[in-house]
Structure 1
Amino acid sequence: MSLIDGLPDGSGVRLLAPAKVNLTLHVTGQRDDGYHLLDSLVVFADHGDLLHVALSEVDAISVTGPRAAGVPMDTRNLCLKAARLAGQSVRVALEKHLPNEAGLGGGSSDAAAVLRAIARLTSAPVLASAERIGADVPVCIPSRAMRMRGLGDVLSEVPALPPLPAVLVNPGIPVATPPVFKALQKRDNPAMPEVPQNLKTVAEVAAWLTLQRNDLQAPAISIAPEIAGVLAQLASAESCLLARMSGSGASCFGLFASTEQSDRAAMIISKANPTWWVQSVVLK
Structure 2
Amino acid sequence: MRATAPAKINLTLHVTGQRADGYHLLDSLVIFTEFGDEVALHAGTGLSLAVTGPQAAGLLGEGDNLILRAARLIGARDAALSLEKHLPVASGMGGGSSDAATALRLVARAQGLTLPGTAALMRLGADLPVCLAAPRPTRMRGLGEHLEPVLGVPPLWLLLVNPGVGLSTPAVFKALTKKHNPPMPAALPRWRDAADLAVWLSGMRNDLEAPARALLPPVAALLDELGTQPGCLLARMTGSGATCVGIFADERTCRAAERRLSVPGRFVQATRSLA
TM-score by length of 2: 0.94
Q: How far does the alpha carbon of each residue in 1:118-167 deviate from its partner, in whole angstroms, 9 at most, with x for none?
A: 22113344221212211111111122211111111111111131111010
2:216 is equivalent to residue 224 of structure 1: yes
2:42 is equivalent to residue 54 of structure 1: yes
2:243 is equivalent to residue 277 of structure 1: no
Does the CA contact (< 8 Å) of 1:163 and 1:202 recur in 2?
A: yes
1:85 pairs, out of 54, 60, 73, with 73
Which amino acid counterpart does residue 17 of structure 1 have in structure 2? Answer: A
Unpaired stretches in structure 1, ≥5 consecutive residues: 1-12
The structure whose RCO (Cα within 8 Å, separation 6+) is larger is: 2
Does the CA contact (< 8 Å) of 2:58 and 2:88 recur in 1?
A: no
* Residue matched to 1:6: none
* Residue matched to 1:43: 31
Which amino acid counterpart does residue 239 of structure 2 have in structure 1? Answer: G
2:104 is equivalent to residue 115 of structure 1: yes
Which aligned runs of 4 or more in structure 1 are off by greater than 4 angstroms? 72-75
2:54 is equivalent to residue 66 of structure 1: yes
CA-atom RMSD in angstroms: 1.4
SS at match of 1:69: helix
Structure 2 distance, partners of 1:121, 1:74, is 27
2:198 is equivalent to residue 198 of structure 1: no
1:215 pairs, out of 194, 198, 207, with 207
SS at match of 2:109: helix
Q: Percent identity?
A: 49
* Residue matched to 1:5: none
Q: How far does the alpha carbon of each residue in 1:229-263 deviate from its partner, in whole angstroms, 9 at most, with x for none?
A: 11011101001100000000000100011111111
SS at match of 2:245: strand
Unpaired stretches in structure 2, ≥5 consecutive residues: none
Does the CA contact (< 8 Å) of 1:159 and 1:195 recur in 2?
A: no
Distance 1:175 1:124, change over 3 A: same
Structure 2 distance, partners of 1:28, 1:78, is 27
2:247 is equivalent to residue 255 of structure 1: yes
Deviates more, 1:126-135 or 1:41-50: 126-135
Deviates more, 1:138-147 or 1:20-29: 138-147
Distance 1:251 1:243, change over 3 A: same
Which amino acid counterpart does residue 124 of structure 2 have in structure 1? Answer: I
TM-fit CA distance, 1:194:
4.0
Does the CA contact (< 8 Å) of 1:63 and 1:73 recur in 2?
A: no
2:135 is equivalent to residue 135 of structure 1: no
Q: How far does the alpha carbon of each residue in 1:169-208 deviate from its partner, in whole angstroms, 9 at most, with x for none?
A: 0001110011111110100100111463421200011011
* Residue matched to 2:19: 31
Structure 1 distance, partners of 2:46, 2:86, is 26
Deviates more, 1:65-74 or 1:40-49: 65-74
SS at match of 2:57: coil
